[in-house]
């Protein structure tokens, strides 16, 4: 039996196990939408294509599966570019399906034509233009395989309208074989033995974990190594949740807004095991002074990430989980011979002293609400079990610092690209991935407005997302830099004409709360969390509160500005 390209596409998505597709219709994809009533998955109508890709991204991060979105050609496709770049920078597996004008019109400047394959080539793991319906099933199969395998990432498939209309026999390729793409998963046994011996010999060891630990499901192996070998752990923004945030070995995040203990530890460690991290500039600070006393081991499945930003002594190209499990197998017999706890006691004492000397803190106020306190209360009221999405800026850093993540896939944030407007649609994706979990978007009053129209999507789908706006009336992080480094020249960072977020919520059919006093914070937050459906909580916080610690751009990690 012959099927149209649109029918083949839906059958392919079914076989790939797709549960939800976030999308927005248009002329180039109308044949696909004509078949959607017969689809095995749920389609979620967003109100802007950027929200479709962010929601697919949030779904992928929360579920560990491949996210999927569907948009039309031209502006529909270009509206996804920011979200594609966001997923690419953070290694998130997403398949983006874009409509395209009929193949005879490609290159003729047809209505709503754009070379989306060319535009997205620098920010996708791979992309395709399907010119023959006979290749469609094979391409979709490859797209999902590439997105989820190796170092995950976004894959775009461009679908001309005539290809969606043409019929052919459906043939599903059971296996994927790509001569030019064969990621190495298994760690080299000799390198594992070398790293194990370095760990045995280390007096001041440290584990530095990144998002790769979460995407490879390596958190259990990492936790075993740290707890049994008594090695303190720090993580990047993307790695939060890979190690329990309430464990005594947890130092918190490192880098520009990392903890004093984490930054001092990496500056004084004699051995650093970097797992699934890419040594980006927000982590390293001044590269020449990063981990100056340490033997560096870098575990990553992407060989191009190793030696890219920082020279390492022992490279280990492998899947993070398999590498850590191999290290566990190699080191487990040593537990009967080596007393790691005793050997590391002086080091752990020093690390604990740093944490006690300069903990994450802020100056409480009875007059104004401190944003850090809002996040602390959220953590208490949710018992640390919520999925937290964030926008970008101060709200993002306060959420990362003061909400303690004990499990992976619970912190969704744009790390590499720093995309304002990411958090709310990502929270929508996460809520579809985890319908029984509390999902909270910690937002700023500037960034929430970039995709505020998705209130309609959330309300229409009866989602229970809570949006907590840390409203300081500024583009807060830029204002902080202006205060510290530009003599308080608050040029275009003051948000003078703010909407009434409570009325805005009500206009969309959501619930709205406003909190202006510290004394009412806990009670109103609890009421908001208990309120069914989509809720906005507008919290009027201290206007010129800053995120500390802070390492100025280009400075060493030890050159921290403290509270």
DSSP code of 555? S
> Which of 319, 276, 269, 326 minimizes the C-alpha distance to 298?
276
Longest pairwise C-alpha distance within the chain = 73
Distance in angstroms (rounded) separating the CA atoms of residues 331 and 272: 16
Distance in angstroms (rounded) separating the CA atoms of residues 28 and 73: 6
Distance in angstroms (rounded) separating the CA atoms of residues 499 and 497: 7
> Cβ(477)–Cβ(420) under 8 Å?
no
Beta pairing class for 2-4 and 167-169: antiparallel
Distance in angstroms (rounded) separating the CA atoms of residues 427 and 405: 16
Q: What is the dihedral of CA 157, 163, 166, 172, to 10 degrees?
A: -20
Burial class of 478 by CB neighbour count within 10 A (0 to 12, 13 to 18, 19+)? middle
Distance in angstroms (rounded) separating the CA atoms of residues 136 and 154: 18
How many CB atoms neighbour CB 367 within 10 A?
A: 7
Active site residues: 49, 111-112, 161, 477
Burial class of 171 by CB neighbour count within 10 A (0 to 12, 13 to 18, 19+)? exposed
Distance in angstroms (rounded) separating the CA atoms of residues 330 and 338: 13
| Cα dihedral across residues 218, 224, 229, 231: positive or negative | positive
> Which of 191, 272, 199, 260 minimizes the C-alpha distance to 233?
272
**What SS3 class is residue 168?**
strand
Distance in angstroms (rounded) separating the CA atoms of residues 291 and 264: 9
Q: For residues 268-292, b (16+ Cβ closer than 10 Å) or e, as one string?
A: bbbbbbbbbbbbbebbbbbeeebbe
How many CB atoms neighbour CB 407 within 10 A?
A: 15
Give me the sheet containing 387-390, strands edge to edge: 411-412, 387-390, 439-444, 466-471, 535-540, 511-515
List beta partners, residue 143.
Answer: none
Distance in angstroms (rounded) separating the CA atoms of residues 179 and 524: 58
Distance in angstroms (rounded) separating the CA atoms of residues 237 and 320: 17
List beta partners, residue 511.
Answer: 535
């Amino acid at each position: 039996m012959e099927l149209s390209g649109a029918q083949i596409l839906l059958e392919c998505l079914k076989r790939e196990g797709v549960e939800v597709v976030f999308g927005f219709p248009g002329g180039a994809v109308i044949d696909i939408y004509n078949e959607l009533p017969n689809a095995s998955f749920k389609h979620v109508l967003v109100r802007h294509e950027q929200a479709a890709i962010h929601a697919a991204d949030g779904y992928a991060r929360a579920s560990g599966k491949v996210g999927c979105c569907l948009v039309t050609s031209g502006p529909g496709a270009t509206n996804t570019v920011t979200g594609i770049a966001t997923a690419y920078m953070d290694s998130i597996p997403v398949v983006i399906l874009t409509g395209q004008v009929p193949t005879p019109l490609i290159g003729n400047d047809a209505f709503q034509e754009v070379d989306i394959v060319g535009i997205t080539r620098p920010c996708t793991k791979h992309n395709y233009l399907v010119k023959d319906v006979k290749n469609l099933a094979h391409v979709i199969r490859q797209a999902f395989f590439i997105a989820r395998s190796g170092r995950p990432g976004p894959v775009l498939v461009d679908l001309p309208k005539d290809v969606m209309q043409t019929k052919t026999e459906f043939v599903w390729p059971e296996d994927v074989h790509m001569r030019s793409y064969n990621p190495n998963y298994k760690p080299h046994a000799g390198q594992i033995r070398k790293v194990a011996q370095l760990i045995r010999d280390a007096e001041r060891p440290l584990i530095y974990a990144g998002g790769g630990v979460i995407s490879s499901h390596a958190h259990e192996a990492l936790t075993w190594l740290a707890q049994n070998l008594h090695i303190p752990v720090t993580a990047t923004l993307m790695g939060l949740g890979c190690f329990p945030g309430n464990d005594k070995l947890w130092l918190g995040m490192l880098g520009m807004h990392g903890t004093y203990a984490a930054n001092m530890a990496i500056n004084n460690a004699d051995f650093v095991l970097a797992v699934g991290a890419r040594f980006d500039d927000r982590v390293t600070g001044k590269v020449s002074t990063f981990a100056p006393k340490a033997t560096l081991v870098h575990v990553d499945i992407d060989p191009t990430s190793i030696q890219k930003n920082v020279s390492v002594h022992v490279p280990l190209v492998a899947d993070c989980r398999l590498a850590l499990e191999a290290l566990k197998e190699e080191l487990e017999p040593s537990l009967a011979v080596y007393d790691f706890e005793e050997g590391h006691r002086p080091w752990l004492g020093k690390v604990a002293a740093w944490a006690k000397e300069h903990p994450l803190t802020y100056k409480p106020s009875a007059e104004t609400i401190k944003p850090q306190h809002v996040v602390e209360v959220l953590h208490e009221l949710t018992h640390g079990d919520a999925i937290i999405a964030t926008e970008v800026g101060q709200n993002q850093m306060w959420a990362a610092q003061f909400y303690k993540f004990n499990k992976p896939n619970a912190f969704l944030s744009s790390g590499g690209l720093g995309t304002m407007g990411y958090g709310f649609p990502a929270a929508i994706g996460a809520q579809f991935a985890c319908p029984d979990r509390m999902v909270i978007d910690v937002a700023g009053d500037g960034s929430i407005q970039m995709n505020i129209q998705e209130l309609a999507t959330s309300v229409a789908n009866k989602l229970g997302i809570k949006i907590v706006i840390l409203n300081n009336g500024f583009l807060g992080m830029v204002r902080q830099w202006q205060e510290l480094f530009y003599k308080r020249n608050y040029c275009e960072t003051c948000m003078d004409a703010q909407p009434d977020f409570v009325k805005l919520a009500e206009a969309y059919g959501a619930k709205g709360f406003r909190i202006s006093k510290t004394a009412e914070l806990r009670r109103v937050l609890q009421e908001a969390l208990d309120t069914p459906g989509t809720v906005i909580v507008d919290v009027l916080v201290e206007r010129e509160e800053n995120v500390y610690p802070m390492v100025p751009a280009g400075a060493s990690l030890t050159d921290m500005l403290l509270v």
